[in-house]
Structure 1
Amino acid sequence: MKFIPHDYQEIAIDHIMENEASGLFLEMGLGKTVSALTAAADLLHNYFEVSKVLVIAPKRVAEDTWSRETEKWDHTAYLKISKVLGSKSNRLQALLEPADIYVINRENLEWLVNHYKKDWPFDMVVIDELSSFKSSKAKRFKALRKVRPLIKRIVGLTGTPAPNSLIDLWPQLYLLDKGERLGKTVTWYRDTFFKPGRRDPARYIVYEWNLKDGSEEAIYDRIGDICISMKSKDWLKKMPERMDNVVNVTLSPTAKKKYKQLEKDLLLPFEDSDVVADTAAVLSNKLMQLSNGAIYDENEDVMKVHDAKLDALEDMIEAANGKPLLVFYSYKHDLERIKQRFPQAKKLETSEDIEKWNRGETPLFLAHPASAGHGLNLQDGGNIIVWFGLTWSLELYQQANARLHRQGQKDSVIVHHLVSEGTIDEQVMQALKDKSTGQDALLEAVKARLEKVGVS
């Protein structure tokens, strides 16, 4: 297929070409992969500025998306892709293969760095989903930081650079510019732009950091030269309409009583075991399980509480009148109960599963948002999403919805949220709305403005 770039893709490609370190904060559906591939091909074979490209991606994306995208376009089909995946022997063999681009999953990045040490051979690195490097304590960040001085060109791709708050930006920007804009240490960044919020003085623990006055604009100004941001609504005239719908699920009096008891006493007794929630985090997790209909006890056995969400899902399947549904679940017991209730349901596991869905052969497709969050094109298989279990992660939420709500989708996308009334589900929905506000401000502040690039 001949690649005719859209205006926004030309801007993204030029940005990579013009900056040795570049961050592309492109919303889902704007073609981050093909833009990066096009720039890499030019740098490899037209400008001869780099000789070996490494792509670091989520596992499923590393397995499928980059090779498939390369083969799709006439101008990149000649590129040789080597997948550094699987067992150690398979990874070593893949590294020996002559190739233009080597693709590795982020879980194996530490191994790759330790394998090469100072003999690091990749002079260009593309981080697919830069936001997965938002923790400065993570092994993947520390590993890449070691070899960052040996990398000539680096590209960070993401649609959600600050899914929770601007505190997440420092590790990502450090990998791009080695601390030039936001400081050499996370401590300096934090002390310069933030002030302690909620904390435990006795244990010297700070639970959240709040921006100082003027810091938000200062951060945007510092990163605006190497980071550009684009949103689908600004560039895509053919994006499908998206309609969000909250489906209120009423729990039975018995289920409500159990929910309130766990919420109040941090303990829910069953006949042969108990459910104990001894911290706020554990309690939150247990309440979300119970809202969905089942809960793990102290022995990790599943205790069923109600079928209210299963009943709601059955109503939605009937209302869809034969149209396929993409259902996002949270827990293994959600998955098993849905499969038991609906034998026609199929879990997303392989590339073949994706192909069957896109051919319209799967009436009920079950996916965990973490496994379907990045790089998967599912828009050909349907236009209805159901969130059986919600997630606190704005990043997972946005990425999962973008599997259907993206360019190429022919119908309006309907996103249903099953929300158990009077439960933590309602708080999660509100939190997702609140978190998006800060991220939208970031994207707006650094996005490529039409006036600046001369596009009307």
Structure 2
Amino acid sequence: MTEFRPHDYQKRAIRFCLDHKKCGLFLPMGAGKTVTTLTVLDQLVPIDVCKVLIIGPVRVIQSTWPDEIEKWDHTKDMSYSVVAGTPKQREEALQADADIFLIGKENVQWLVDKHGRDWAFDMVVIDELSAFKNPKAQRFKALRKVMPLVDRFIGLTGTPAPRGIPDLWSQIYLMDRGERLGRTLGQFRERYLKPGRRNGYIVYEWKPQDDAEQRIYERIGDICMSLNQKECAELPPVQRLEIPIRMPAMALDQYRAYKREKVLELNDNDTLIAANAGVLCGQLLQMTSGEIYTKNDNGEITGTQIVHSSKLAALDDLIESANGNPVLVFYYFRHELYRIKKHLQSMKVNVRELVDAKDVNAWNRGHIDVLLAHPASAGHGLNLQKGGHIMVWYTLPNWDLELYQQANARLYRQGQNQNVLIYHLIAKDTIDEDMIMALDRKKVTQQNLIDALRR
């Protein structure tokens, strides 16, 4: 067992949660939000709170939270039940005599549908509150119904506005039922947003009004606590490095022609046609990766075709230059996983795909040379900092700032004692360059929120 010695910022966060029955902790990724929240629960259960529901990503509620509960001296006696598996297994887990119930965000609607009328949880914690940023999502609509029955609430996230302040309404609503930003999404838009792209009465995009950010920050600052990474525990330096990739001339010509014409002629008389901008973006990203899915006339995937091997060669160089240090590689397309894994196995590299807790443990024990992970499956809560300090983005996560930041925080977090290196394989004169710039631009909006809420 380990004695918890909170940093000053964690002491402030604990006090903030105890003083505010419903609040948000917008702390940097890797700042120890889990143990901070458990310390709050340790002081509330069973005096002020009887049953706690913790909602989060599946892997996090199945491994990270149980590991943290059992790790610390002051929380090891807390009883918990993981509500997962088949409906029957979930029902059995709900009947357990426990203080804390852990459930994946995918099962929130099921829980409310089955047990909303006899709701027994007087406290709810959401790990990665930004997973509830979509007010049209069933999980938000379900949880919204039972929030009047909840006495205490903590929303945890390091990325509260991954796509800008339009993401905030539903997250804040779970804390105050619309008191600060509007009882309805329509009210929120009328007060703080303005239409962007539209077609007649149909609005495809909402943008902040000129002074909206400051007004929103002032409205929610009393129930949301935020810190800058520099105010938290000191972490080793981190370097973000771009590795320029030059695609072969023929492949680059194909790329440019497809971008211009929206039609790509492949071998064996296969033809790809981009139906819309989203499809085109994804397929251009595949081309910079070096392999692209082929499809039949019905749009069904029939296989893949190799375009080039430039990124694969660059990855080889990075792994060799690591001099035996483990390397975490983030891929985006499934064909990248198969291609990289097959290639490295042929080179006698000890490579493994991140699937479950066994892979996490093997990585942290130093039993894996190269770990392949998708940012969506390794983007929240997983502690990988003990296994290495070198990360490679084979392909960026398709404009998703939250996935990008969360994935980086798997290594760059408390407990990391080596300089962290984050490499980006960027194909020159392609969408790769646009994407890394777009992620940086989105980060500015996110940082404005963090700075404004800093305490």
Query: Residue 321 of structure 1 aligns with which residue?
Result: 323
Partners of 1:53 and 1:102 within 8 A in 2: yes
**Aligned mates of 1:198, 1:258 — CA distance in 2:** 30
**Aligned mates of 2:55, 2:307 — CA distance in 1:** 42
- AA in 1 matched with 2:291: A
Deviation at 1:209, TM superposition (A): 2.1
Deviation at 1:207, TM superposition (A): 2.8
**SS of structure 1 residue aligned to 2:214:** helix
Query: Residue 399 of structure 1 aligns with which residue?
Result: 406
Query: Residue 176 of structure 2 aligns with which residue?
Result: 177
Q: How many residues align?
A: 443
**Aligned mates of 1:33, 1:332 — CA distance in 2:** 31
1:259 lines up with 2:266 in the alignment? no
Give the alignment's TM-score, normalised by structure 1: 0.96
Give the alignment's TM-score, normalised by structure 2: 0.96
**SS of structure 2 residue aligned to 1:434:** helix
**SS of structure 2 residue aligned to 1:66:** helix
Deviation at 1:198, TM superposition (A): 2.3
Query: Residue 451 of structure 2 aligns with which residue?
Result: 444
Partners of 2:109 and 2:138 within 8 A in 1: yes
Partners of 2:83 and 2:93 within 8 A in 1: yes
- AA in 2 matched with 1:226: I
Partners of 1:240 and 1:407 within 8 A in 2: no
Q: Among 334, 341, 344, which residue is 2:343 paired with?
A: 341
Query: Residue 274 of structure 2 aligns with which residue?
Result: 277
- AA in 1 matched with 2:95: L
1:372 lines up with 2:378 in the alignment? yes
Deviation at 1:10, TM superposition (A): 0.8
Deviation at 1:351, TM superposition (A): 1.0
Deviation at 1:44, TM superposition (A): 1.0
Q: Among 308, 311, 314, which residue is 2:313 paired with?
A: 311
Q: Show CA shifts across 1:67-118 (max 9, x none).
A: 1000011111000110000111110110011000000000011000011122
Deviation at 1:17, TM superposition (A): 0.7
**Aligned mates of 2:78, 2:228 — CA distance in 1:** 29
1:190 lines up with 2:192 in the alignment? no
Partners of 2:393 and 2:423 within 8 A in 1: yes
Q: Among 412, 416, 419, which residue is 2:423 paired with?
A: 416
**Aligned mates of 1:205, 1:338 — CA distance in 2:** 43
Deviation at 1:206, TM superposition (A): 2.1
Deviation at 1:9, TM superposition (A): 0.8
Query: Residue 82 of structure 1 aligns with which residue?
Result: 81
**SS of structure 1 residue aligned to 2:225:** strand
- AA in 2 matched with 1:428: M
1:72 lines up with 2:71 in the alignment? yes
Consecutive unaligned residues of structure 2, counting only runs of 5 or more, are none
Deviation at 1:273, TM superposition (A): 2.1
**Aligned mates of 1:295, 1:67 — CA distance in 2:** 40
Q: Show CA shifts across 1:207-244 (max 9, x none).
A: 3222222221110000000001012212223x010001
Partners of 1:29 and 1:232 within 8 A in 2: no
**Aligned mates of 1:306, 1:200 — CA distance in 2:** 40
1:236 lines up with 2:233 in the alignment? yes
**SS of structure 2 residue aligned to 1:154:** strand
1:91 lines up with 2:90 in the alignment? yes
**Aligned mates of 2:207, 2:53 — CA distance in 1:** 36
- Higher mean C-alpha deviation, range 351-360 or range 77-86: 351-360
1:220 lines up with 2:217 in the alignment? yes
1:250 lines up with 2:256 in the alignment? no
**Aligned mates of 1:340, 1:261 — CA distance in 2:** 30
- AA in 2 matched with 1:368: H
Query: Residue 38 of structure 2 aligns with which residue?
Result: 37
Query: Residue 454 of structure 1 aligns with which residue?
Result: none
**SS of structure 1 residue aligned to 2:14:** helix
Query: Residue 207 of structure 1 aligns with which residue?
Result: 204
Query: Residue 452 of structure 1 aligns with which residue?
Result: none
Q: Show CA shifts across 1:139-173 (max 9, x none).
A: 10001011111111111000000011100000000
**Aligned mates of 2:184, 2:312 — CA distance in 1:** 48
**Aligned mates of 1:69, 1:169 — CA distance in 2:** 28
**Aligned mates of 1:213, 1:311 — CA distance in 2:** 47
**SS of structure 1 residue aligned to 2:135:** coil
- AA in 2 matched with 1:181: R
Deviation at 1:123, TM superposition (A): 0.4
**Aligned mates of 1:224, 1:184 — CA distance in 2:** 18
Partners of 1:276 and 1:297 within 8 A in 2: no
Partners of 2:262 and 2:280 within 8 A in 1: yes
**Aligned mates of 2:129, 2:277 — CA distance in 1:** 29
**SS of structure 2 residue aligned to 1:409:** coil
- Higher mean C-alpha deviation, range 245-254 or range 228-237: 228-237
Deviation at 1:383, TM superposition (A): 0.6
Q: Show CA shifts across 1:310-334 (max 9, x none).
A: 0110111111111111000000001
Query: Residue 451 of structure 1 aligns with which residue?
Result: none
Query: Residue 60 of structure 2 aligns with which residue?
Result: 61
Partners of 2:32 and 2:414 within 8 A in 1: no
Q: Show CA shifts across 1:164-189 (max 9, x none).
A: 11000000000111001001111111
Query: Residue 288 of structure 1 aligns with which residue?
Result: 285
- Higher mean C-alpha deviation, range 147-156 or range 191-200: 191-200
**Aligned mates of 1:76, 1:145 — CA distance in 2:** 29
Q: Show CA shifts across 1:391-428 (max 9, x none).
A: 11111111101111111111100000000111100010
1:144 lines up with 2:143 in the alignment? yes
Deviation at 1:38, TM superposition (A): 1.0
Deviation at 1:258, TM superposition (A): 1.3
Q: Equivalent pairs: percent with the same residue?
A: 49
- AA in 1 matched with 2:438: A
